[in-house]
Amino acid sequence: MSWLIVGTVPYEGFPLIEGKCNVLKRRLRFGDQSVRISRGTPALLATACLTAQALGIEPPSALLCGDIGRGDGSRRIYEYLVREIPDCPNDLFVFHYLQPDVDWHNRILCRLEELPTTPILIADAGYMYVAKMSGFAASYDLFTPDAGEVAFLADESAPHPFYTRGFLLQEDDRVPELIQRAYQHENAARHLLVKGRCDYAASADGILAKICDPCVEAMEPIGGTGDSLTGIASALVQGGRSLAEASVQAAYVNRFLGLISSPTPAFSVADLLPALPRALEMGLPQSNHIRRHEF
């Protein structure tokens, strides 16, 4: 059972790499390459690797390339995926920080749909934006937007969160209404995990769970705490949980990550990761099979 996490790292000239990674001393390592874990796809990968290790499942493979916003690294990844997907037997794909490009998105989705068994598809960040922009959001299994991004999903006209119309702007108490509107216009994945002051797990059937405790206010300004949530949820899905179960449990684990770490708004997500094994023990039911390991 293999799974692939696809995204970019913010270093110009960083080569395209595919392979297993591990977390060591606040860095994500791939063979002789390594990147700092600060936010974005490295943060998602780090939490996914550590959660997989704790669950005793196969760690994810990473498909990464350097991109500082010019889209060159994202295009190399897109080309690689279109070429390699037929020979890429992954059960789960997680798409993350990639330059939105509808044409490439549709080609990749087409390739994925052509596989004998369609893999589970999770999207966050730029790839969630382009999945919505393409009109094929419903082809995905899980999106993990924050409260502002769910307003973007709810706005059937907005091509990017920057253009979300004012009457749909982020207000935490309006999240259920925004979720409903996103489903009405087919701009949501089959499941949504909306992160915010309260987290929501939802599907087209409605709100499945609302998780408000423990609440650690300082998590909001810390870059990468949404990425950690997506990483944990992805690992739980790969570990065999249903999308709904994984969403709810990931929300709890990410909140315990904050509670245990007692962060200030100046923390980095890497400062939180040593608490992940304990957060998994606290956030997952029947967690006696969690393996402790060094970070």
Partner 1 sequence: MSLLKRIRKSFGTDPGSKPGHGRGISARGILIFQHTSEVIRAETLLKLAGFDVAVKGPPPEIRTGCDLAIEFPVISQLKVLQLLQQERIRPLHVLPLQDVLLEPVNLFHAKDFGDYLMVRAANMKITLSKADLRIVNVSGGGCPDVPYLADQLLGKRLDEAPEPRSLGSTLCGYALQLAFEELRRRCPG
- Site residues (CB under 8 A) for partner 1, limited to 36-75: 38-42, 67-71, 73-74
Residues in the chain: 295
Hey, what amino acid is at 219? M
Binders of partner 1 in range 89-108 (CB under 8 A): 97-103, 105-107
Q: Assess contact for 291 and 53: CB atoms under 8 A.
A: yes
Q: Which is nearer to partner 1, 53 or 164 (CB)?
A: 164
Stretch that binds partner 1, among 16-24, 46-54, 110-118, 247-255 (CB under 8 A): 110-118
If one asks whether residue 113 binds partner 1 (CB under 8 A), the answer comes out as yes
Is the separation of the CB atoms in 13 and 66 below 8 Å? yes
**Residue 9 or 284 with smaller CB distance to partner 1:** 9
Q: Is position 258 an interface residue for partner 1 (rule: CB under 8 A)?
A: no
Q: Which of residues 222, 236, 250, 259 is near partner 1 by CB under 8 A? A: 222
156-185 footprint of partner 1 as x/- string (CB under 8 A)? xxxxxxxxxxx--xx---------------
Could you say whether residue 217 binds partner 1 (CB under 8 A)?
yes
Q: How far is the CB of 200 from partner 1 (least distance, A)?
A: 18
Is residue 240 a contact residue for partner 1 (CB under 8 A)?
Answer: no
Nearest to 5 by CA among 32, 26, 31, 28: 28
Q: Which residues contact 201 (CB under 8 A, 6 or more apart)?
A: 191, 192, 193, 207, 208, 209, 211, 244, 247, 248, 251
- By CB under 8 A, tell whether 224 contacts partner 1: yes
- State which of residues 6, 9, 120, 201 lies at the interface with partner 1 (CB under 8 A): 9
Residues 119-138 that bind partner 1 (CB under 8 A): 124-130, 132-136
Cα gap 57→151, rounded to integer Å: 35
Q: How far is the CB of 170 from partner 1 (least distance, A)?
A: 8
Whose Cβ is closer to partner 1: residue 124's or residue 245's? 124
CA–CA–CA angle 186, 189, 192 (5° rounding):
115
DSSP string, 56-104: T-PPPEEEEEE-SSSSHHHHHHHHHHHHHGGG---SEEEE-S----HHH
Cβ-contact 272, 257 below 8 angstroms = yes
Smallest distance, partner 1 to C-beta of residue 133, A: 5
